[in-house]
Structure 1
Amino acid sequence: MNSLIKLELMRALRNRRFLFFSVIYPSIIFLLVSNQNGTNGKVDGTGLTVAAYVMVSMASFGALTAVLMGNSERIVKEREGGWVRQLRLTTLPGRGYVLAKTASAAVVSLPSIVVVFLVAALVKDVRLDAWQWFALTGAIWAGSLVFAALGVAIGYLASGDAVRPITMIIYFGLSILGGLWFPSSSFPTWLQNIAKWLPTHAYAALGRSIEQSQAPHTQDIAILVAFFLIFAGGAAWLYRKDTLKA
């Protein structure tokens, strides 16, 4: 499994277009959104400046981009190219394949988080305590595992022609409804009630709790754990189901 993780990392790091959209693109969006809304203004109900609030949103969005977009389309290509069929001839179990894909994608998401933080600190003068920077990085990075598992599941659920539109719908749907692009407090009440149960909403809430020097809410952690188990279990099941078809 370790060899597969190394191989996946090498392939991802060689893909310049993927690196741009997962590492550089979120920082660009961060600068655009924070400039448009005024860097030093406060976001209602949070006590956070616009720059600090958007920083967590875009770091989460960047990690989501890296693990979800990269995994789903790459797996479909591997299935169609026969690579997955070759892996089945090895001793690698289904859960090992899912874990390898999830872990390698999560490692790639780390640069996207760090770059957003660097831009926020250097360009927008976002200031946090040292422990908050480390805690934010760890929380957002660990939370990306949820969406890495989702990417694996989509890769086995969708066909080659359908994987991109399906991934894009889920990608933007989770990002917007989860409050990564706009504060969920601006949504209608009925939509807020839906948003608070989405994994992206809980994901960003972890980071904002750390920025406010508060302990993460138990509900947010429980939601992320539950979705990870659902996505990872679904991915493993779909992998075994695809094996039976081969």
Structure 2
Amino acid sequence: MTSLIRLELVRALRNRKFLFFSVVYPAVLYMIIAGGAAEDSKVDGTGLTLPTYFMVSMASFGALTAVLMGNSERIAKEREHGWVRQLRLTSLPGRGYVLAKISSAAVVSLPSIVIVFVIAAVLKGVRLGAAQWLELTGAIWAGSLVFAALGVAIGYLATGDAVRPITMITYFVLSLLGGLWMPTTTFPSWLQDIARWLPTHAYTGVGQAIELGRTPHAGDFAILVVYLLAFTGGAAWLYRKDTRAA
């Protein structure tokens, strides 16, 4: 399994388009959104400054891009080209393949988080305690596993031709309604009620609580755990289904 993780990392690092959208693109978006804003400008209803609010949003967006887009499309193409079938002939267990996909995606997501943090601290004057920086990095990184599992599930659900539109629709809905691109406090009340139940809303909620020096809400943790179990369970079921079909 270690060899497969290493192979997945090498493949990801060689994919310049993937690296741009997962590592560089979120940092560029952060500067577009927060670059011209004053360091003390507030986002209504959050208690955070605009540079601080969007630091968590864009770091989360980068991690989401890395683990969701990378996993879903790669797995669907590997199924289509017979690579997964070949791996089943080896001693690698099915759970090892799924774990390798999630682990490699999580490793690649870390630079996107760190780069946004560095830009926010250096160029926009975001200041947090050392413990907060570490907690924030760990929380966003660990939370990305939820979406890595979703990426695996979509990769086994969709065919090579259908995986991109399905992934893109999921990606944009989660990003927009989860508050990664704009504060959910700007939504009408009925849409805010929907957004509260999305994993991306809970994902950013944990990060924002850490920025404010508060203990993250237990409800946000619960939502993330439920989605992680659901996506992981779905991925495992779809993997077994795909195995029987092969």
In structure 2, distance between residues paired with 1:52 and 1:74:
33
In structure 1, distance between residues paired with 2:60 and 2:28:
14
Q: Quote the residue 2:10 is aligned against.
A: 10
Residue identity over aligned pairs, in percent, reads 72
SS of 1:91's equivalent in the other structure is coil
Q: Quote the residue 2:233 is aligned against.
A: 233
Give the letter for the 1:236 counterpart.
A
Alpha-carbon contact 1:60-1:140 (below 8 Å) kept? yes
Give the letter for the 1:35 counterpart.
G
Alpha-carbon contact 2:71-2:148 (below 8 Å) kept? yes
The question of 1:88 aligning with 2:88 is answered: yes
Question: Per-residue deviation at 1:94?
Answer: 2.1
In structure 2, distance between residues paired with 1:229 and 1:6:
26
Structure 1: unaligned runs, 5 residues or longer: none
Give the letter for the 1:58 counterpart.
M
The question of 1:68 aligning with 2:63 is answered: no
Give the letter for the 1:244 counterpart.
R
In structure 1, distance between residues paired with 2:96 and 2:13:
22
Aligned length: 246
Q: Quote the residue 1:45 is aligned against.
A: 45
Alignment of 1:135-154 (within 5 A): 135-154=135-154
Give the letter for the 2:49 counterpart.
T
Give the letter for the 1:175 counterpart.
S
Question: Per-residue deviation at 1:161?
Answer: 1.0
In structure 1, distance between residues paired with 2:147 and 2:101:
11
Give the letter for the 1:192 counterpart.
Q
Q: Quote the residue 2:168 is aligned against.
A: 168
Alpha-carbon contact 1:98-1:232 (below 8 Å) kept? no
Q: Quote the residue 2:123 is aligned against.
A: 123
Alpha-carbon contact 1:150-1:235 (below 8 Å) kept? yes
Give the letter for the 1:104 counterpart.
S
Give the letter for the 1:235 counterpart.
A
TM-score when normalising by structure 1? 0.98
Question: Per-residue deviation at 1:45?
Answer: 2.1
**1:150-207: CA deviations, max 9, x gaps?**
0000001011111111100000100000011111111111111110110000000111
Alpha-carbon contact 1:73-1:155 (below 8 Å) kept? yes
Alpha-carbon contact 1:153-1:231 (below 8 Å) kept? yes
